[in-house]
Structure 1
Amino acid sequence: MKLVAQIKDRLLQLHGDAILAIGLYGSLAQGIDGPYSDIELRVITKDGISLPGHEFIYPPFKIEIGMKQKHEAMRSAATVDDSWAIKAGAYAHLQAIYDPDRLLDEIRTRPMQISDEAIRDVMREFMIWEPYETMGKIRNNKQAGNYGYLPLGAKDLAWQSAKLIGLANKTFYTTRARTYEESLQMPSRPSGYDELIELVTRGQLHDSELIYERCEHLWTGLNEWYAEMGIEYKLDKLPF
């Protein structure tokens, strides 16, 4: 793409030897972009050199240029958190547009170097932070007769579960837009997930009783799934 080459040349003209590598990521790097896709670039600088990133509109494109020092990029690429399955592709799919020392080859391998134990720890913590709280809100609002919240709660629970499925399968999604589609192809999924996703993706969120029923089914499935994996997130005594 001509504009990407222009941006690369401009960055190198401005910052020269401070830049070690420039990679393209996102849908454009994977060849699945559309006419309204962002242009997303990852710039790796020498350690000790910090350059400002940029996020701007250059009609008709939105352009993001993220700057990271080498040690920061290496650490970030190998970090696992609850959004790992969504964000890891930004490193794993890096397409080199400037990489004289083949630094990006090493960075691309980092996301899959995370340990199974680190994934389990994140899944344990995330279950407490988000899904458990979301299910509590769904139940409270159902009991209070606030049925207008249920579609939002169902969407939140579905998205949180998709993130957990990516983690459990140690697989990242190609793009946020295909998260649900790709999650349904992963071998390890909690029961009840497919049925709730069917409602969410088809926009069939007008039947409050059906929404609630499927959220409860997924919640049961999530807990059974965790038990099968040996992930215990509940305590039987105070931690202090």
Structure 2
Amino acid sequence: MNRNEPAQLTHDERLANCHIISERLHRTYGEQVLAIGVYGSMARGTDAPFSDIEMFCVLRNTDEKADECSYEWSMGSWKAEVDVRTADTLLHEAAVVEGEWPLTHGPYFHVLSLYDPEQFFPRLRKTAESVSPMEFKLAIEEVLVGEIMELVGKLRNAGMQDNFAYLPYLAMQMAHNGAMLIGLHNCKRFTTGALVMPEALTMPDRPAGFDQLAELVMSGCLNDPPRTVAVCESFWDGLETWAFKHDYIIHIRRFPF
């Protein structure tokens, strides 16, 4: 029986599969293809033996609605994902800053080109690099209010209701969103989801309390409810001071409408 599970591949073996995928994309989309590239760990040259394949297939802009989609499949021993997008769609996505920007936008900066005769991928990178500081500020404020302040409310409810099983999840979510804030504040991207916490700890101007929260989460020692709550509350206190220092708005005096 064939086993369906990740198998070890070398970088060159994985790259050979990328070229096979590229050939099939050319046959499927023909002259619509503007560019094809690989992103993720393969593009950075940091792929590990069990890494998957992530690719862009960029279609030319036309007056007709393009068949944009994402293919994600397993070939038994390896997995691949191909995002089929028009050039305009990718350029628009690259220019958007949202809360997960430090984790999600790496693909727009680092693409291993397999086919790009019109130099689309350098244009994509330039677009991603041209975002205004105000866009980062707005994204930071959205994370502060829309994510972390909401998590603090849930944390306090969990403590009052003795729902201690919920606390580890809340602590992990607070640490993750704290790392996103630090990445946004420094306009820096994380190389991979596996290194969000360690890389955030190397960035400057971190809110007080983040280091202790990140270290607690990375240690996995989240079975002490009073300590977990205290560390999370300390981080929230540090965030309020940090936000005031950098003019990030958490509280407003009037309704926004």
TM-score (norm 1): 0.96
What's the CA shift for 1:51? 4.3
Shift of the alpha carbon at 1:13? Answer: 2.0
2:29 to 6, 15, 21: 15
- Structure 2 distance, partners of 1:234, 1:122, is 15
1:148 to 145, 162, 165: 165
Measured in 1, the distance between the counterparts of 2:60 and 2:36 equals: 12
Paired AA for residue 169 in structure 1: N
Aligned-partner residue type, residue 206 of structure 1: N
Give 1:58's match in structure 2, choosing from 50, 75, 99: 75
CA drift of 1:238 comes to: 2.5
Task: Give the structure 1 partner of residue 189 of structure 2.
Answer: 172
What does residue 75 of structure 1 align with?
Answer: 92
Find out whether 1:29 has 2:43 as its counterpart: yes
Shift, 1:53, TM fit: 2.8
1:236 deviates by 1.6
Give ranges in structure 1 of 5+ residues lacking alignment: none
Whole-angstrom CA distance in 2 between matches of 1:112 and 1:179: 21
Structure 1 match to 2:9: none
1:201-240 mapped onto 2 (5 Å cutoff) = 201-240=218-257
The 4+ residue runs of structure 1 with deviation greater than 4 A are none
Provide the rounded CA distance (Å) in 2 between the counterparts of 1:80 and 1:120. Answer: 9
What is the TM-score normalised by the length of structure 2?
A: 0.90
Q: Distance in 2 between matches of 1:3 and 1:16?
A: 19
Give identity over the alignment, percent: 33
Tell me the equivalent position of 2:133: 116
1:3 to 17, 20, 32: 17
Distance in 2, matches of 1:216 and 1:122, equals 22
- Flag structure 2 segments of 5+ consecutive residues without an equivalent: 1-14
User: CA–CA distance in 1 between the matches of 2:241 and 2:69?
Assistant: 46
**Residues of 2 paired with 1:239 and 1:76: CA distance?**
27
Q: Are residue 194 (structure 1) and residue 242 (structure 2) matched? A: no
| Matched position secondary structure for 1:53 | strand
SS in 1 for 2:83: strand
Cα offset, 1:188, TM superposition: 2.0
